[in-house]
Structure 1
Amino acid sequence: MELTAIDPRDLMTATQAAALCGVRPVTVRQWVFKGLLTAVNLGEHDKGPKLYRLQDVARAEKATRARARRVLVPAA
């Protein structure tokens, strides 16, 4: 991903993305593993912090929530 076209204010860590979406950081990493989210690498040769674009995080969360289709049933 071309870093020059990305506004640094739109980048966040997995922990920040998780807090924004109301999930755990491991969930954000699972989105990456499943191909729902792509990390932006600021370091050379895949070193340095992995950051995620706000738009990409929102898209991954939406895809995950749409697939979950959880139905909450009130306790009797």
Structure 2
Amino acid sequence: MVTLDGDLSRTTWTTPQAAEAAGVTPDVIYQWKRRGKLVPVNRKGWPRYRAMDVLQVEASTRQRAGRTHVTA
């Protein structure tokens, strides 16, 4: 379970954690990475993304699509 507590500008998430927090599948996180919307903060190993970046991309994508809330 991903928590949204603490300093989100310093918190990093793995791809599955980022997907859970954004309410999308890991494939969407990979697409955002390929399209340059998300940039991993590490250069080696499994990619990790800054929590604030993930949430900003998710909000931007939702706004562009005309959705105002996340559906479950």
* Same-fold call, TM cutoff 0.5: yes
Task: Report percent identity of matched pairs.
Answer: 41
Which of 55, 60, 64 matches 2:61?
64
Q: Which digits, 9 at most, give the CA deviation of each residue in 1:28-51, with x for residues without a partner?
A: 1111111111112252xxxx1100
Question: What is the aligned length?
Answer: 59
Quick one: higher RCO (CA 8 Å, sep 6+), 1 or 2? 2
The correspondence of residues 26-65 of structure 1 with structure 2, limited to 5 A, is 26-43=27-44, 48-65=45-62
Q: Does 1:16 align with 2:13?
A: no
Larger Cα Rg: Structure 1 or Structure 2? 1
TM-score of the pair, normalised by structure 1: 0.69
Q: Which digits, 9 at most, give the CA deviation of each residue in 1:33-70, with x for residues without a partner?
A: 11111112252xxxx11000001101110111111115
Output the amino acid matched with 2:19. A
Question: Please, which runs of 5 or more residues in structure 2 have no aligned partner?
Answer: 1-8, 68-72
Query: Which has the larger share of helix?
Result: 1
CA RMSD across the alignment: 1.6
